[in-house]
Structure 1
Amino acid sequence: MTETTRFYDDFQPQHYDIFLDINRSTKKITGTTTITGMAKTPKIKLHQKNLDIDSIEANHQAVNFKVNDAIEAVELELAAGQQTIAIKYSAPLTDTMMGIYPSYYQVDGVKKQLIGTQFETTAARQAFPGVDEPEAKATFSLAIKFDEQPGETIIANMPENRVENGIHYFDETKQMSTYLVAFAFGDLQKAETTTKSGVKIGVYSTKAHQPKELDFALDIAKSSIEFFEDFYETPYPLPHSWQLALPDFSAGAMENWGLVTYREAYLLIDPDNTSLRTKLQVATVIAHELAHQWFGDLVTMKWWDDLWLNESFANMMEYVAVDALKPDWQTWELFQTAEVPASLQRDAIDGVQAVHVQVEDPAEIDSIFDGAIVYAKGARMLVMVRSLIGDEALRAGLKKYFSAHKFNNATGKDLWAALADASGLDVGEIMNSWLEQPGYPVVKANVVNGDLILTQQQFFIGEGKDAGRLWQIPLNSNYSVVPKIMSEKEINLGNYNKLRTEFGVPFRLNIGNNSHFIVKYDQQLLDDILKDVKQLDSISKLQILQDLRLLAEGQQISYAEIVPLLPQFSSSKSNIVSTALYRVMTQLKQFVKPETSEETSFKALMDQMSAEQVKRLGWQAKVNESIDDQLMRPSVLNASLYAKNPQTISKAHKLYLEHQNQLTELPASVRSFVLINEMENYGSPELFQRFFKAYQETSDAGFKSDLEAAITMTDNPDLIKEIITKFKDPDIIKPQDLRGWYRNVLANPKGEQAAWDWLRTNWQWLSDTVGGDMEFTTYITVTAMVLKTRQRFEEFSEFFNPKLNTPGLTREINMDTRLIEARVKLIEAEEKAVNKAINQIIN
Structure 2
Amino acid sequence: MKTVAHYIEHFIPEHYELFLDISRKEKTFSGRVAITGLAKKAHISLHQKNLTITSVKVAGQDMDFQVDDENEAVHISLQQTGDVVLELVYTGKITDNMTGMYPSYYTFEGEKKELISTQFESHFAREVFPSVDEPEAKATFDLSLKFDQEDGDIALSNMPEIKVDERKKTGVWTFDTTPRMSSYLLAFALGALHGKTARTKNGTIVGSYASQAQKLTSLDFSLDIAVRVIEFYEDYFQVNYPIPQCLHVALPDFSAGAMENWGLITYREIFLLVDENSSVVSRQRVALIIAHEVAHQWFGNLVTMKWWDDLWLNESFANMMEYVAIDAIEPSWNIFEDFQTSGVPSALRRDATDGVQSVHVEVKHPDEINTLFDPAIVYAKGSRLMHMLRRWLGDAAFSRGLKAYFDKHQYGNTIGRDLWDALSATSGKDVADFMDAWLEQPGYPLVTARVEEDKLILSQKQFFIGEHENKERLWPIPLNSNWTGLPETLTQESLIIENFSQLVAANQDKGAFRLNTGNTAHYITDYQGQLLEEVLTDFSGLDIESKLQVLEERRLLAESGHISFADLVPLLVQVKKETSYLVASATAQLISSIERFVDEDSPTEDKLKQIVRSVFQANFDRLGFEKVAGEADEDEMVRQVTISHMLWADDAKAISKAREIYAQYADKIEDLPASIRVFILVNEMRQAGCLELIESYLAAYTATNDSNFQADLAQGLSYLKTDEGLKKVLSVLKDKDVVKPQDLSAWYATFLRRSFAQEAMWNWAREDWDWIKQALGGDMSFDSFVNIPAQIFKTQQRLDEYKAFFEPQLTDMALSRNISIGIKSIAARLDLIQKDKKSVEKAIMDY
Alpha-carbon distance, 1:448 to partner = 3.0
Q: Do the aligned partners of 1:3 and 1:71 also contact (CA within 8 Å) in 2?
A: no
**Match in the other structure for 1:214:** 219
Give the Cα separation in 2 of the matches to 1:558 and 1:336: 24
Give the Cα separation in 2 of the matches to 1:501 and 1:100: 67
Q: Which deviations, in whole Å up to 9, do the C-alpha atoms of 1:672-714 show, x marking residues without a partner?
A: 0001100111221111111111111111121111111111211
**Match in the other structure for 1:410:** 414
**Which residue type is aligned with residue 410 of structure 1?**
T
**Match in the other structure for 2:55:** 55
Note the residue ranges of structure 1 that are not aligned, 5 or more in a row: none
Matched, 1:772 2:778: yes
Paired residue for 1:244, among 239, 246, 249? 249
Q: Counterparts of 1:776-791 in structure 2 under 5 Å? A: 776-791=782-797
Give the Cα separation in 1 of the matches to 2:44 and 2:597: 59
**Which residue type is aligned with residue 269 of structure 1?**
V
Give the Cα separation in 2 of the matches to 1:726 and 1:306: 40
Give the Cα separation in 1 of the matches to 2:421 and 2:351: 26
Paired residue for 1:682, among 676, 685, 688? 688
**Which residue type is aligned with residue 643 of structure 1?**
A
**2:446 match: secondary structure:** strand
- The aligned length equals 840
Give the Cα separation in 1 of the matches to 2:280 and 2:779: 31
**Match in the other structure for 2:344:** 340
Q: Do the aligned partners of 1:717 and 1:750 also contact (CA within 8 Å) in 2?
A: no
**Match in the other structure for 2:289:** 285
Alpha-carbon distance, 1:801 to partner = 0.9
Matched, 1:823 2:829: yes
**Match in the other structure for 1:265:** 270
Give the Cα separation in 2 of the matches to 1:7 and 1:838: 63
Alpha-carbon distance, 1:5 to partner = 2.9
Q: Do the aligned partners of 2:691 and 2:724 also contact (CA within 8 Å) in 1?
A: no
Matched, 1:123 2:129: no
When structure 1 is superposed on structure 2, of 619-628 and 465-474 the one drifting more is 619-628
Q: Which deviations, in whole Å up to 9, do the C-alpha atoms of 1:595-645 show, x marking residues without a partner?
A: 333322222222221222111110001122223212110011101111111
Q: Which deviations, in whole Å up to 9, do the C-alpha atoms of 1:213-253 show, x marking residues without a partner?
A: 01000100111111111111101111111000000001111
Give the Cα separation in 2 of the matches to 1:555 and 1:42: 63
Note the residue ranges of structure 2 that are not aligned, 5 or more in a row: none
**Match in the other structure for 1:400:** 404
**1:102 match: secondary structure:** strand
Alpha-carbon distance, 1:432 to partner = 1.2
Q: Do the aligned partners of 2:405 and 2:418 also contact (CA within 8 Å) in 1?
A: yes
Give the Cα separation in 2 of the matches to 1:771 and 1:806: 15
Alpha-carbon distance, 1:285 to partner = 0.6
When structure 1 is superposed on structure 2, of 708-717 and 540-549 the one drifting more is 708-717
When structure 1 is superposed on structure 2, of 218-227 and 27-36 the one drifting more is 27-36
Give the Cα separation in 2 of the matches to 1:431 and 1:708: 42
Paired residue for 2:673, among 667, 675, 697? 667
**2:846 match: secondary structure:** helix
**Match in the other structure for 2:34:** 34
Q: Which deviations, in whole Å up to 9, do the C-alpha atoms of 1:284-310 show, x marking residues without a partner?
A: 011111111101110111111111221
**Match in the other structure for 1:150:** 151
Give the Cα separation in 1 of the matches to 2:597 and 2:59: 70
Matched, 1:317 2:321: yes
Alpha-carbon distance, 1:40 to partner = 1.7
**Match in the other structure for 1:132:** 133
**Which consecutive aligned stretches of 4+ in structure 1 deviate over 6 angstroms post-superposition?**
none
**Which residue type is aligned with residue 827 of structure 1?**
I
Q: Counterparts of 1:384-783 in structure 2 under 5 Å? A: 384-504=388-508, 505-783=511-789
**2:442 match: secondary structure:** coil
When structure 1 is superposed on structure 2, of 83-92 and 188-197 the one drifting more is 83-92
TM-score (norm 1): 0.98
Q: Do the aligned partners of 1:473 and 1:485 also contact (CA within 8 Å) in 2?
A: yes
Q: Which deviations, in whole Å up to 9, do the C-alpha atoms of 1:173-215 show, x marking residues without a partner?
A: 0011111110010011111111110101110111111111010
**Which residue type is aligned with residue 751 of structure 1?**
A
Alpha-carbon distance, 1:766 to partner = 1.1
Q: Do the aligned partners of 1:121 and 1:366 also contact (CA within 8 Å) in 2?
A: no
Q: Counterparts of 1:829-840 in structure 2 under 5 Å? A: 829-840=835-846
Q: Which deviations, in whole Å up to 9, do the C-alpha atoms of 1:459-497 show, x marking residues without a partner?
A: 111112111111111110122221111111110011333
Q: Do the aligned partners of 2:512 and 2:538 also contact (CA within 8 Å) in 1?
A: no
**1:46 match: secondary structure:** strand
**Which residue type is aligned with residue 728 of structure 2?**
E
Give the Cα separation in 2 of the matches to 1:652 and 1:198: 49
**Match in the other structure for 2:360:** 356
Give the Cα separation in 1 of the matches to 2:603 and 2:43: 73
Alpha-carbon distance, 1:59 to partner = 3.6
**Match in the other structure for 1:376:** 380
**Match in the other structure for 1:176:** 181
Q: Which deviations, in whole Å up to 9, do the C-alpha atoms of 1:130-165 show, x marking residues without a partner?
A: 111111111111111111112211000011112262
**1:819 match: secondary structure:** helix
Alpha-carbon distance, 1:4 to partner = 4.1
Q: Do the aligned partners of 2:742 and 2:779 also contact (CA within 8 Å) in 1?
A: no
Percent identity, please: 45
**Match in the other structure for 1:73:** 73
Q: Which deviations, in whole Å up to 9, do the C-alpha atoms of 1:552-595 show, x marking residues without a partner?
A: 11111111111112210132011101100111111112112223
Give the Cα separation in 2 of the matches to 1:338 and 1:24: 40
Give the Cα separation in 2 of the matches to 1:38 and 1:366: 32
Q: Which deviations, in whole Å up to 9, do the C-alpha atoms of 1:475-525 show, x marking residues without a partner?
A: 101222211111111100113333223322322111111100000111321
Give the Cα separation in 1 of the matches to 2:601 and 2:8: 61
**Match in the other structure for 2:21:** 21
Give the Cα separation in 1 of the matches to 2:529 and 2:262: 53
When structure 1 is superposed on structure 2, of 629-638 and 71-80 the one drifting more is 71-80
Q: Which deviations, in whole Å up to 9, do the C-alpha atoms of 1:768-817 show, x marking residues without a partner?
A: 11142311112211121111111111111111111111122121111111
Give the Cα separation in 2 of the matches to 1:812 and 1:249: 23
When structure 1 is superposed on structure 2, of 331-340 and 4-13 the one drifting more is 4-13
Give the Cα separation in 2 of the matches to 1:711 and 1:91: 40
Give the Cα separation in 2 of the matches to 1:730 and 1:664: 22
Alpha-carbon distance, 1:665 to partner = 2.3
**Which residue type is aligned with residue 346 of structure 1?**
R
Give the Cα separation in 2 of the matches to 1:226 and 1:479: 38
**1:295 match: secondary structure:** coil
Q: Do the aligned partners of 2:451 and 2:529 also contact (CA within 8 Å) in 1?
A: no
When structure 1 is superposed on structure 2, of 81-90 and 831-840 the one drifting more is 81-90
CA RMSD, Structure 1 to Structure 2 (Å): 1.2
**2:29 match: secondary structure:** strand
Give the Cα separation in 1 of the matches to 2:592 and 2:539: 22
Q: Do the aligned partners of 1:19 and 1:31 also contact (CA within 8 Å) in 2?
A: yes
TM-score (norm 2): 0.98
**2:361 match: secondary structure:** coil
**Match in the other structure for 1:191:** 196
Alpha-carbon distance, 1:369 to partner = 2.6
**Which residue type is aligned with residue 454 of structure 2?**
G
Give the Cα separation in 2 of the matches to 1:681 and 1:4: 56
**Match in the other structure for 1:300:** 304
Alpha-carbon distance, 1:661 to partner = 2.0
When structure 1 is superposed on structure 2, of 765-774 and 125-134 the one drifting more is 765-774
**Which residue type is aligned with residue 328 of structure 1?**
S
Matched, 1:3 2:7: no
Q: Do the aligned partners of 2:447 and 2:526 also contact (CA within 8 Å) in 1?
A: yes
Q: Do the aligned partners of 1:2 and 1:362 also contact (CA within 8 Å) in 2?
A: no
Give the Cα separation in 2 of the matches to 1:476 and 1:203: 42
